[in-house]
Structure 1
Amino acid sequence: MTAATGKTEGQQERSLHALLPFLQTQSQTSLTRMYQRPSSCLSIFRLLGAVERQLVMNLLWLESSIPTSTMSSWVTKEGKTLFDDALAWLARLHILSNNTTTKLGLSPAFKTSMRHAITGGGASVSFGVPAEPDEKRPAPTIDALDAYALERWETILHYMVSSGTGQMPVKPSQGVLFLLQRNGLMAMNQGQLQITSSGFQFLLHTPHAQLWELLLQYLQMVEERQMDLVEVLSFLFMLSNMELGRVRAFYEYSTESLSDTQRAMLEDLRDYGLIWQRKAKCIFHASSRRFIPTRLATTLTSSVPPLPTATHASGAQDQGFIVLETNYRIYAYTDNPLQTAVLNLFVFVKSRFPNLVVGSITRESVRKALVNGITADQIISYLTTYAHPQMRKNKPLLPVTVQDQIRLWELERNRIKTQEGFLYTAFASQADYEYVLNYARQLDVVLWENAAKRCFFGSVEGHTNIRGFIERRTGGGG
């Protein structure tokens, strides 16, 4: 085994999936329970880095542990750091046995389940139980499932960028809105939910990264919702290993083998577009006893794009679609309503055509974005990320004058800060002024002072104490 891949330590850290830091914070008991399911072990194996996967495969078929020195002897000098980091991650995830200083071996639960996942042994319920085909009610096609997942997912994104702008986008479920608030992607402003700076940064991520960011927040809320974390994770891993469809017919999966926690998750996952369910036949059931995972679910632990139909502007979003001129004019070659809505956050749109949006970056449009919590650097980052291929020939990529002006508009807004408080003036003498001012200084509530005019400005929090102090002084005849 050679671990000399040419990557630095920092690059190795960045290659790890966002879920792994969350998993390493869980107890060994919880992880061992999860490792008893082959689908969970296979999914976690996919999320590991290249060196970690290679270590697991080298140890998987060994019946006993081997000396750590033996494994280390296979590693090149340049790859020693990557090898040590990989061992540390596997140990923190309790995939390796506790003692890694002398001997290396996989934990029994992980080894058994991983072998079953690869060879096809073990309980099939770990990968879902297919339901019998219903000839009277045929399942949707792959294209219909993709359209359904795309519509659900873009409903969430479109609401984020359109809320607070006067538009009336389709509103996601209350569960989705609560999740967006808890994750800091949206915040209440004057009675309305509006996108935050973190939410705008969220839009720059890939759909796969966006989905996992929401799912991680969902996992953080499991305990307060009195759900079993192991069951939640196991269900997500189960979905990631299910089949989207087959050549002859679709598989619908039965809910009969699911736990109570996993059945409760079905409604949440429908809101995100991960699950498709038909309406129940019986009025006594809230939903059907069958479900179908969409591509959003089956690609959770793979590198395959979760929304292949999202780039319906001839691949414009992948290659870049924005042309920015030195006169602040913008040409966006897209017919995607979501991308147009994002541009509306910081661009004054002048004209719209079937596949082109024309607008300009103005002081007012940038100030509107700044009010919504979007920073100048995020605007510049968005323009850079989605720059048209023709613009990528320029050096620098974006006109320097435009970048500087956007930052100046931000500094202009941040130049003056307002703070509520009370102005104390009309003191009878210099001694009275200094006496009250010293008391306010002790409370650390003085925001501004002018000795020549015998006045100072104090914060709202200190007003009650200062007023009481003055009243006691004047009441005492001072």
Structure 2
Amino acid sequence: MPNVRRATRDFMDLVASCLTAARIDALYASKWTCQAVLRSLPPLAKLYVLRLLYLDAAVPDKMLLEWIKGDAVAKHKNAVDRLVQLRVFLPEEKILSRKKETHYRVNPKFQEQLRLALSTGLGTPRDPLPPDIAVRMPSAKELDDYATEKWEAWFSSLVNFASPDGPSASTNGFIVQLFQKADLLTSGQDPKITPAGFQFLLLDRNSQLWRVIREYVQYAEARQIDTGELIRFLLEIGFYSVGEPYSMDSLPNSQRNFAEELAMLGVLQLQKGMKDRWFIPTRLATGLSASLSESSAWQTEGFIMVETNFRVYAYTSSKLHIETLHVFVRTEYVLPNILVGSITKESVNGAFASGISADQIIKFLQQHAHPFVAQKVPSVPETVCDQIRLWESDRVRVQYLPAYCYEGFPSTSVYESVVAHARDRNGLLWEDANRKMIVVGGEHHEAIRAFLQNINKKK
């Protein structure tokens, strides 16, 4: 049977994959972590949690099924799987009327803290400093400008690895290591941007943030940092008020180090007075307790206009925006607040060679469409979209489809039976009788697996 590697899609997937059951339970000692987990759940899973929150007994799965419509069974399974994955639900097997039934109980630690959160109301993990201590507070615009400047400084360094001149000598070593861990840069003494790095540049800021935070957490273990404490701090940050000052001295030493590293990302701003130090959450921090599937509170105004003649006008002075557009746009001239260029076959072929797809280019143009054209449907002319896809199809003449490899058959007779069954279904793609290996099309995988299970039952 093939081995399947499941990639983490959001931060809560990472929590479940990198922490043991005991450490996940330890996270639920904080009401802020419990609220962050609740926010991240699918709507149906949230419904289950809130309905069962004040029930101390385990309930059967068939009872949960009575709460949904018949066509929502798949959503029910996804909701329950996520709750079990995060140990919000603890499954119990019970024998009733000689039948084994699965019951679910809300994790007592999660249950206790979420009840506490609902009964004590909203708030922040720590009280902000009084105005007489934190006197040099930035305005909302200044805080946004600070976050943007820090964020773009990070990713301008990534773009620099793609330039002929290479990165500047002042590139932060920690940033380089983090990019290499994320497979955005190649390893070695002379790192270069990878195809994944080019694709990363075209993601929206919320997706970029989550990618970096995931790698930051995974990199923590290699740096001998308590992953559970880091995750708890990251989830709590989302509950602080943007623009309010909070004392650094009230944080444990390890969390102070986390705050200093997050300030490099623009998630926090650090300030210092005569005696006190404090951190100020930016709008980038508000997304840290939400699911990747939710929209970020951080939204940037669009700046790109694309015409039907393939001309591109980008009203921006951001070096990062300009360098990103260089990846697939032929630049004609750049003024202090505008870039003018055009999309050509040669310019997009360079992007395709770097591993970027036509759909990624189109999505980037749509996500950053200027407000003047963003309300139009489509915001990028169809002729331009179609032509970009046609240019890609000229290069990609091979279509990739999912397939499954079967090996390790217990006997020749079983192998031959499976081969015959796969051939009858027109699903056999390849076979090697000497090594007893076959490859079948992805759409036939479930049927072949069921056929194998029936053979095993007969034995």
TM-score normalised over the length of structure 1: 0.68
**Quick one: which amino acid aligns to residue 330 of structure 1?**
R
SS in 2 for 1:128: coil
- State how far apart, in whole Å, the 2-side matches of 1:136 and 1:46 are: 31
SS in 1 for 2:279: strand
Distance 1:384 1:145 in 2: 27
- CA shift at 1:304, angstroms? 5.8
CA distance in 2, matches of 1:140, 1:395: 41
2:303 pairs with 1:305: no
Return the offset for 1:404: 3.5
Residue pairs, 1:61-210, within 5 angstroms: 61-99=54-92, 101-120=101-120, 127-135=125-133, 137-165=135-163, 173-187=172-186, 193-210=191-208
Q: Flag the structure with larger Rg.
A: 1
Task: Tell whether the 8 Å contact from 1:255 to 1:289 is kept in structure 2 after alignment.
Answer: yes
> 2:315 matched to 1:322?
no
Instruction: Note closer, same or farther for the CA distance 1:361–1:333 as it changes in structure 2 (3 Å cut).
Output: closer
Aligned to 2:384: 398
* CA contact 2:134–2:273 (8 Å) conserved in 1: no
Deviation at 1:356, TM superposition (A): 4.3
Identity %: 27
Q: Which residue of 1 aligns with 2:282?
A: 294
SS in 1 for 2:186: strand
Aligned-partner SS, 1:223: helix
Structure 1 counterpart of 2:286, one-letter code: T
| Distance across 2 between alignment mates of 1:353 and 1:23 | 45
Pick from 258, 262, 265 the counterpart of residue 255 of structure 2: 262
Q: Are 1:332 and 2:313 an aligned pair?
A: yes
Change in CA separation of 1:192 and 1:376 when aligned onto 2, cut-off 3 Å: farther
Q: Following the alignment from structure 1 to structure 2, what is the Cα–Cα distance between the partners of residues 270 and 131? A: 19
Decide whether the 8 Å contact of 1:231 with 1:259 is kept in 2: no
Deviations 1:206-255 (A, max 9, x none): 2111101110011111211111111101101110011114xxxx4x2123
Residue 260 to residue 135, structure 1, CA distance change in 2 (3 Å): closer
Q: CA deviation at 1:166?
A: 5.2
AA paired with 1:237? Answer: L
Mapped to 2, the partners of 1:400 and 1:68 lie a distance apart of 48
Q: In the alignment, is residue 342 of structure 1 matched against residue 324 of structure 2?
A: yes
Give the letter for the 1:305 counterpart. S
Q: What corresponds to 2:334 in structure 1?
A: 352
Equivalent AA in structure 2 for residue 118 of structure 1: L
Report the equivalent of 2:406.
none
Cα distance in 2, alignment partners of residues 17 and 57 from structure 1: 24
Report how far residue 351 of structure 1 moved: 2.4
Distance 1:291 1:301, change over 3 A: same
Deviation per residue, 1:248-303 (Å, 9 max, x gap): xx4x2123342332122122101101111114646xxxxx6321211111232345
Paired residue for 2:228? 230
Structure 1 residue 398, shift from structure 2 partner: 2.3
Letter in 2 for 1:230: G
- Number of positions where the alignment pairs a residue of Structure 1 with one of Structure 2: 375
3-state SS in 2 of match to 1:331: strand
Amino acid at match of 1:323: E
* 8 Å CA contact retained: 1:349, 1:358: yes
Q: Distance in 2 between the 1:253 and 1:345 partners? A: 40
C-alpha change, 1:167 and 1:93, in structure 2 (3 Å) is: same
Residue identity matched to 1:334: Y
When the two chains are superposed, the root-mean-square deviation of aligned CA atoms in Å is 3.5
Partner Cα distance (1:136, 1:112) in 2:
35
1:117, distance to aligned residue in structure 2 (A): 1.7
Change (3 A) 1:321 1:361: closer
For structure 2, the 5+ residue unaligned runs are: 1-5, 94-100, 398-459
1:20 Cα deviation after fit: 2.4
Query: SS at the partner of 2:231?
Result: helix
Task: Give the direction of change, closer, same or farther, for the CA distance of 1:169–1:150 in structure 2 (3 Å limit).
Answer: farther
Asked if 2 retains the 8 angstrom alpha-carbon contact of 1:323 and 1:391, the reply is: no
2: CA distance between counterparts of 1:32 and 1:181?
31
Change (3 A) 1:354 1:258: closer
Residue 426 of structure 1 is matched in structure 2 by none
Identify the range of structure 1 (71-80 vs 376-385) with the bigger mean alpha-carbon deviation.
376-385
Counterpart secondary structure, 2:340: strand
State the distance in 2 between where 1:233 and 1:161 align: 29
TM-score (structure 2 length as normaliser): 0.71
Is this contact kept in 1: 2:248–2:279, CA < 8 A?
yes
